[in-house]
Amino acid sequence: MIQFLLNDEMIELKSFAPSLSVLDWLRTNMGKVGSKEGCASGDCGACTVVIGDLIDGQWHYKSINACLMLLGNLHGKHVITVEALSTTINPDVEDLHPVQRAMVECHGSQCGFCTPGFIMSLFVLYMNHTTYPGKEAVIQALGGNLCRCTGYQPILKAAEQCFSYENDPIKNIAHEDHRFTQQVKKLTESLQTSLAANQIPLIEHGEQHFYLPQSLTQLCQLKTAYPEAQFVAGATDLSVEFSQRLTYQDQLISVRYCQELMQFENDDTGLHIGAALPYSEFVERFCEVYPEAHELFERLGSLQVRNAGSLGGSIANASPIGDPAPLLIALNAAIEVQSTRGKRVLDLAEFFVDYRKTQLAEDEVIVAIHVPKRRPTLKLSCHKISKRIEDDISAVCLVLAYQYDDETIQKARCAMGGMAATPALAKNVAEALNGKTLTLENLQLAAEQIEVDFQPLSDVRASSEYRIQVSKNLFSRIWYQTQEAPQFKSANLHTSNAVQITNAAPIIHTRINHAAL
């Protein structure tokens, strides 16, 4: 059995298909049709709901795509849907929430299909800030919500106006007078009791099961018992298989409830990132050490996707166009895996063996990713090329890391995605750079080795020729961004097209967020 809170109603479920999404359950089983189905793939945000997690004794709320979250992963969480907002203070009195009121007054809705998703994204922003956090924070919050008819300006205005009303004294769900408070307390107590009993929550449907092990030991034991079972973290890719390709799995095992996989440490040996920890819970701390990677993570899906997805899920998925892998390979990261047989630590660069295939044995689970401590002389450049700036997969992802000692390049590692069946090192490029001074000519000469390292395919994202050319151009960009000119120092610059950058007339495409238009 799993249990969770839906608005102010305690829910207990025993039997449902493991592949059922939260969105389908809300609409078909609970009649909560305010959450809309637009794309069923996490791109449009029409299905956005707010999820509360109990972390270190405190409830934390964030937005997620209900079309991607599987029902089993709702265990122990608090789900808030758009239907609950208009009765924030007194369930007997209909009263618009400040976010809803602002959307009405600022004319932020036309057809209304996308509006519930916008409302929920703004609602969690409103919950987590006491004052207007600024336009950039609003754009980040709304980056996963698409509107086809209203236009974003009225919605941005509503985001600002909702903070201007007389303060709602109990907008925070932790407030003792909030109508959700008593049920949240009951859920907290129930979760603590269940955890103390060492139980494994699950839902089942005939021979199908969705398991939620609460420890690494339980997780490894289940994987040994069901080697064919599919692991589930954020399900940001797996759910698309269920909804778009109509596949299914008899046995699913969630890794999201194992605390050993939800840790983040920064110690004398480097960074240690739990495999199931959502991006939104570690990226800022990661970027304190590697600020050059900030834009790469910021462009990895929307906020809703980053609230669900994890490094372990991306690496296990072994997509050749997964953005984190080239970054981690360039940083010489290692991956820790474990089973009932023991633990192994593998070089991430050797972990991918073929298209969608890894060294992970059928009874092993990814526990953590380890990134070595940054040396003061390390230089890092990260570049993602995609058709859309936001919410798009890579045509090419290039990450170059090297030590710059005594005015020469040492220990260069260049990793690329989208160029082969797996994310991979460009070994000949690195060899061409090692021992050289950092000049435009040396970078361009090294870039010629890309054609030795890779023979990329042509597909719907880009042709082989485009991938080769734009990859070479990126080495010119790396040079210009090391110069003092402020237009080249910006972390928010990237090449969207395969243009030839020359010393005389470099061409730069600046970053534009669709939500700002």
Q: Which pLDDT score, from 0 to 100, does residue 297 have?
A: 95
Q: Which pLDDT score, from 0 to 100, does residue 196 have?
A: 64
Pick from 47, 50, 44: nearest CA to 33: 47
Task: Give yes or no: residues 180 and 266 share one domain.
Answer: no
Using the structure block, give the residue that is written with the tokens 């929307």.
302
Q: Report H helices in 269-404.
A: 283-289, 294-298, 303-306, 311-317, 324-330, 348-351
Q: Is residue 39 part of a domain?
A: yes
Task: Give yes or no: residues 306 and 443 share one domain.
Answer: yes
Pick from 476, 472, 463: nearest CA to 505: 476
Distance CA 252, CA 230 (A): 5
Task: Give yes or no: residues 294 and 171 share one domain.
Answer: no
Q: Is residue 252 part of a domain?
A: no
Task: Give yes or no: residues 402 and 500 share one domain.
Answer: yes
Question: Over the stretch 103-139, which tens digit does the pLDDT of each residue have?
Answer: 999 999 999 999 999 999 999 999 999 899 999 999 9
Q: What is the CATH number of the domain that holds 441?
A: 3.30.465.10
Q: Which of 434-438, 480-484, 513-517 has the lowest mean pLDDT?
A: 513-517
Q: Which pLDDT score, from 0 to 100, does residue 171 have?
A: 56
Burial 2-23 (b: 16+ CB within 10 A, else e): bbbbbbbeeeebeebbbbbbbb
Task: Give yes or no: residues 484 and 359 share one domain.
Answer: yes
Q: Is residue 247 part of a domain?
A: no
Of 131, 166, 186, the one marking the end of a domain is 186
Asked if residues 250 and 203 have their Cβ atoms less than 8 Å apart, the reply is no
Q: Is residue 241 part of a domain?
A: no
DSSP classification of residue 27: I
- What DSSP line would sit under 133-169, residue for residue? --HHHHHHHHTT---SSS-HHHHHHHHHHTTTSSP-T
Question: Over the stretch 244-279, which tens digit does the pLDDT of each residue have?
Answer: 878 878 999 999 999 999 999 999 999 999 999 999
Of 170, 186, 202, the one marking the end of a domain is 186
Please write down the HEC assignment for all residues of 267-295: ECCEEEEECCCEHHHCHHHHHHHCHHHHH
Asked if residues 488 and 388 have their Cβ atoms less than 8 Å apart, the reply is no
What is the pLDDT averaged over residues 78-94?
A: 72
Q: Is residue 255 part of a domain?
A: no
499: confidence class by pLDDT, cuts 50, 70, 90: very low
Task: Give yes or no: residues 326 and 442 share one domain.
Answer: yes
Pick from 124, 154, 148: nearest CA to 43: 148
Of 127, 157, 186, the one marking the end of a domain is 186
Pick from 350, 385, 376, 409: nearest CA to 470: 385
Task: Give yes or no: residues 182 and 279 share one domain.
Answer: no
176: confidence class by pLDDT, cuts 50, 70, 90: low
Residue 141's domain comprises 1-186
Question: Over the stretch 391-433, which tens digit does the pLDDT of each residue have?
Answer: 888 999 999 999 998 889 999 999 999 999 999 999 999 999 9
User: Quick count: other Cβ atoms within 10 Å of Cβ 512?
Assistant: 12
**Residue 507 C-alpha from the chain's centroid:** 30
Task: Give yes or no: residues 421 and 337 share one domain.
Answer: yes
Q: What percent of the chain has pLDDT over 90?
A: 74
Question: Over the stretch 218-239, which tens digit does the pLDDT of each residue have?
Answer: 999 999 999 999 999 999 988 9
Q: Which pLDDT score, from 0 to 100, does residue 484 have?
A: 63
Quick check: 511 pLDDT over 50? no
Q: Is residue 173 part of a domain?
A: yes
Question: Over the stretch 137-175, which tens digit does the pLDDT of each residue have?
Answer: 999 999 999 998 888 999 999 999 999 987 654 555 545
Q: What is the CATH number of the domain that holds 14?
A: 3.10.20.30
Q: Report H helices in 18-73.
A: 22-24
**330 class by beta-carbon count within 10 Å (0-12 exposed, 13-18 middle, 19+ buried):** buried
Task: Give yes or no: residues 292 and 427 share one domain.
Answer: yes
Contacts for 492 with CB less than 8 Å, ≥ 6 apart = 295, 510, 511
Q: Is residue 113 part of a domain?
A: yes
What is the pLDDT averaged over residues 379-385?
A: 96
Pick from 33, 64, 69: nearest CA to 145: 64
Q: Which of 70-74, 84-88, 269-273, 429-433 has the lowest mean pLDDT?
A: 84-88
Q: Is residue 480 part of a domain?
A: yes
Task: Give yes or no: residues 274 and 182 share one domain.
Answer: no
Q: Which pLDDT score, from 0 to 100, does residue 198 have?
A: 72
Task: Give yes or no: residues 169 and 293 share one domain.
Answer: no
Q: Which pLDDT score, from 0 to 100, does residue 177 have?
A: 54
What is the number of structural domains in the chain?
A: 2
199: confidence class by pLDDT, cuts 50, 70, 90: confident
Mean of pLDDT over the chain: 88
Task: Give yes or no: residues 266 and 166 share one domain.
Answer: no
